[in-house]
Amino acid sequence: MPKNQVDRKDYSSPKEQSGREKNLFVQVPLEVLEAGISTSALKLYLILLKYARQSNECWPSQQTLGWDMNLKPRRIADLLKELECASLITIICRAKEGLSNLYRLLKVVPPKGGSNSSLPKTADSAAEKDLPGKQKKAGEGMQDSADESHEVEIHALKTHTHIQPAHVNGVVAPTNLDFDQPAKSVCDFRNSGKDSSDKSASMQSKEVPGSIHIPPQTTLSEKVIAVLTEFGVSEARAKQLAVTVIKAKLDDEYVRGLAEWILEQTASRTIYNPAGLLVQMVHQLAPVPLPRGAGVPTLNSLQLEADQRKEYFDKHLPRLIAIEERNLADAVSVRDKTSIRLRLDKYLALQAKESERAYPVGKPNLPALSANYSSQAFFMEQS
């Protein structure tokens, strides 16, 4: 025989080699015939028995199995999944190692007079066999390595399963399959109990407190932001309003007063968006409304109690006048100047009237009114 024909025989494909093995046969257990699998799956199981020889493991690639059955690798993957669901094989994914999947046959007929060497190997021996370099060459043992990484990755994503000797879908594995250690899933977490407890502890430590506590050494801007965010205002909007409040020479007590008034109003009437109302009032630098009760008359009647009246005219009214004067200086359009002037003149008239009531004409130590009182007087004359 010519030399080139001998070389061709040595490096022929697995399909050609399987065609020359006319005298070989495999023994099929009755459990496989009674498993209720399809004819194609049964044929694939016989081919796996052929590759496994006298052992219970083999690792041909899906392309090789496709050559043997004249099917595409995707169809081979479906048939392997069917055998796995019938508890006839166990698929061990080895894509990370760059090797083909290891198929462990769970229904193996021991040879006559066989020793313990023909029985299924333990998990430790199987792990040693999985190492690169431990496999036989394709020409000697008819085993193929995974030279198609794309096919291996697709199969790993579709058919990677748990390594378990227990039964699947009600089919119990034979008693001779005894692993030294309990099998674990390839997707289980290691030390799951300890990790879960650590993670739960870390999650509890990162919980956000229910209420915002302002530290004693917090700046004025942070205090204003804390009051606004505690009321439901977003942090970005709170930072903008804090600039407005500080520019107007106000503090967090002003914002807290508005928030408390809004909360009081929600008890008596419906306010659909309390946080939005607070944003609007702070943006417009609206004065803090005085509480209204059964025995407390309104501000327009000028019949407030003595302590409330004194607090309003001594503290709130001068601040409102200063705010309107600053707004009038910053106004650009004529319309804004007119509306601000009307509010300012109203506050000045109220201040002048209170000054006349507290210090009648003819008494000494009459406090000087605001420099803008002339504009208020002019407005009163025009009206």
Per-residue pLDDT at 244 exceeds 80: yes
320-377 pLDDT tens trace:
888 888 888 888 889 888 988 898 898 898 888 888 776 665 544 444 444 444 444 4
pLDDT computed for residue 360 by the predictor:
60
* 252/210: higher pLDDT: 252
- The single-letter code of the amino acid at 95 is A
For the chain, give the percent of residues with pLDDT over 90. 10
Do β-strands 89-92 and 57-58 pair in parallel, antiparallel, or remain unpaired?
unpaired
Of 202-206, 264-268, 270-274, 286-290, the least confident: 202-206
Q: Which amino acid is located at 113 in the chain?
A: G
- Number of residues in the chain: 383
pLDDT over 70, % of the chain: 53
CA dist., res. 245 & res. 144, Å (int): 76
Instruction: Point out the least confidently predicted range of 17-26, 217-226, 256-265, 310-319.
Output: 17-26
Contact between 61 and 150 under an 8 Å Cβ cutoff? The reply is: no
Is the pLDDT at 238 greater than 90? The verdict is yes
Could you report how far apart the first and last alpha carbons of the chain are, in Å?
128
Q: Does the pLDDT value for residue 241 go beyond 90?
A: yes
| The predicted structure's pLDDT at residue 361 | 55
Quick one: pLDDT at residue 320?
86
3-state secondary structure the chain: CCHHHHHHHHCCCHHHHHHHCCCCCCCCCHHHHCCCCCHHHHHHHHHHHHHHCCCCEECCCHHHHHHHHCCCHHHHHHHHHHHHHCCCEEEECCHHHCCCCEEEECCCCCCCCCCHHHCCCCHHHHHHHCCCCCCCCHHHHCCCCCCCHHHHHHHHHHHCCCCCCCCECCECCCCCCCCCCCCCCCCCCCCHHHHHHHHHHHHHHCCCCCCCCCCCCCCHHHHHHHHHHHHCCCHHHHHHHHHHHHHCCCCHHHHHHHHHHHHHHHHHCCCCCHHHHHHHHHHCCCCCCCCCCCCCCCCCCCCCCHHHHHHHHHHHHHHHHHHHHHHHHHCCCHHHHHHHHHHHHHHHHHHHHHHHHHCCCCCCCCCCCCCCHHHHHHHHHHC
> What pLDDT score does 22 carry?
63
pLDDT at 233: 92
Residues 167-182: what's their mean pLDDT?
Answer: 46
Q: Say whether pLDDT at 141 is over 80.
A: no
**What are the sequence ranges of the domains in the chain?**
30-105, 220-285, 306-356
| 210 or 334: which leads in pLDDT | 334
Span 52-109, pLDDT tens digits: 887 888 989 888 999 988 999 899 999 999 888 888 888 988 888 888 888 988 765 5
Structure-model confidence comparison of residues 30 and 278, the more confident one: 278
Q: What is the pTM of this model?
A: 0.28
Residues 324, 285: Cα–Cα separation, whole Å:
9
Q: What is the pLDDT of residues 10-51, one digit of tens each?
A: 445 555 555 556 667 778 888 888 888 898 988 888 888 888
How much is the pLDDT for 300?
A: 47
Most confident of 10-14, 123-127, 188-192: 10-14
Report pLDDT for 156.
53
What are the structure tokens assigned to 320, written together?
């409102």
In one letter, which amino acid is 233?
A: V
Residue 310 has pLDDT above 50, yes or no: yes
Q: Please count the CA atoms within 13 angstroms of the CA of 276 that sit on its side-chain side.
A: 3
pLDDT for the residue numbered 166: 44
Q: In what side-by-side order are the strands of the sheet with 102-105?
A: 57-58, 102-105, 89-92
Encode pLDDT of 228-237 as tens digits. Answer: 999 999 999 9
Cα 205 to Cα 202: distance, rounded to the nearest angstrom? 5
Give yes or no for residue 192 having a pLDDT over 50: no
Residue type, 194: K
**Average of per-residue pLDDT values in the chain:** 69
What CATH number does domain 30-105 carry, 1.20.120.80, 1.10.10.10, 3.65.10.10, 1.10.3720.10?
Answer: 1.10.10.10
Residue with tokens 């229904």, as numbered in its chain: 107
